[in-house]
Structure 1
Amino acid sequence: MAASEYRSSAYQALTDRERAERAARSGGEPILEFGDSLTPFVSYVRSDVLLSLQNFRTKSPSEPAFLIATQVMELMFKLGHIEVLQVRDLLDADEIDAALWALRRVRSVQSLLTDVWELLSPLSPADYGEFRDQLGDGSGFQSFAYRQWEFALGNKNAAMARPHAGDRATHGELLRVLSEPSLYDAVIRLLGRNGLPIPADCADRDWAQPYRARPEVEQAWRQVYQERDRYQVLHRLAETLVDVAYEFGKWRATHLLVVERVLGSKPGTGGTSGVDWLRRAAEHRFFPELWSVRGVL
């Protein structure tokens, strides 16, 4: 097939039948000519843009690993946020099986995020010191992609949107996510629709406010666990949510260990106390009643 044909069709959607026909005409050989256009892969993935975003500030041999690992985490935070919103909306539509299927992808994102720390754990204090000053007041807690994901899961804190007040679009997006029901809000409403005694002010509240654990919600979960035959799907959902919370806790704990290994007791960037601040953050658990109910079963 002529290169000119690919210039006109490279970015069009193709069916399996069309792909099979093209493979038959080329004898199964890959297409190597795309004229003066970007390849369809580069055009779709935009790897030309993505791979231009690594602006290293020093000649430290360790800085590329730090910056690229951090950028990978940013992409995974974005994907985690997208997936959590899909799960929330599926639960609101009472499509629990589909939500459980989608939660598999959330856990895959979390597993990858924890593994990314392995790229940074070999950094010695001397390695990190070669480029750390270039971060200035930059700190991971300023990541708006992470904050979107955390808000969507249910850990709401309006103060964490304040660092982005200078960027109107980003700040507005964070405030929007803050004001919407989280995944756990959707779960609690689902419990109520399934006949469990959920207080009205849990099912309909100011979503921007931090969620506070309630004994009534813990009792509802206790009923789910004690009557597993009756609430089989809700029981599976409960344990899958604990998986998500567990993986998030593991990511935070790994973060803490890596920073402690690399930074020790030095102050963190962005004004934090470093390891002590991360240790307090690592104590947080998503979906609190799913943890507290374990003590009364």
Structure 2
Amino acid sequence: MLEFLRKEGISEKLICEIEKFRKFYKVKGELKYRIPNPRYNYYGNDVWEEAVTALLCGENLLLVGSKATGKNVLSENLAAAFGRPSWDVSFHVNTDSSSLIGTDTFENGQVVLRHGPIYECAKWGGFGILDEINMAKNDSIAVLHATLDYRKIIDVPGYDKIKVDEAGRFIATMNYGYAGTRELNEALTSRFMVINMPGISTNNLEKMLLKEFPNINSKYLEQFAAMFNDLRIKSENSEISTKSVDLRGLISSINLMDKGLEANKALEMGITNKSFDDFERELVVDVIRLRIPRNLERSEIFTD
């Protein structure tokens, strides 16, 4: 991961600081399996440097942005770059304090605390990735307040108070406008440094696709990236919803093409059919047709 950062032109000073961090904060052998090995890399120098600087300063991060801006990819990349075990928490309506800290359970005839992900992350100095934090209930948010501010403690009712390890960091993500989401309260927001995630540029998208599909024809590499950008612009202009602006869907579609499925059928499955409105689907098809011809075969897309 550090070599990737060097290739992308990230400040050498920051990379040296990450190396010092990794040498100073060791990871126990039994936890090394939790250090991520990312499938995708995040591309974006400014965001990388902002995020790394904040984490080196002991801050927690809140990544805010619309769909397909790479919030989760960056979170995973950061844990990998710092060489820290990570714990993932996806907030939903049933996430409460006990599911974060832990619950009572029986072990050898005794009642003991079965540790939750926030407890484990704090204990071992991991990176806690808090996905869709603006779906968290008040009960969950109350747990996070003391954990995320200068106190860095978790007071477990009926057990003990633990201090968050010095290497521990929390990276939260949030989308606006999703069903079940709400505004974060001011007290919680103040405990984070906030990065407003930009959309992936066409050039960086081409880099991502080329890494995933090294045998793709340069002509269609450019067309797939431009097509995705066209869809995003239409979404930003409120001509279509964000449903078809699906980066995972695009990558999955190209993967289906690599396995031999006709391009228009693969794009229907991965992008077009994500919208359930007939009129919107027609608009999406029009955008795709401007870039990708009908009945495009694998032999034209890939060089081998």
Q: TM class by shorter-chain length?
A: under 0.3
| Greater Cα radius of gyration, structure 1 or 2 | 1
| Greater share of helix | 1
Name the TM-score, length of structure 2 as normaliser.
0.26
| Greater share of strand | 2
Name the TM-score, length of structure 1 as normaliser.
0.27
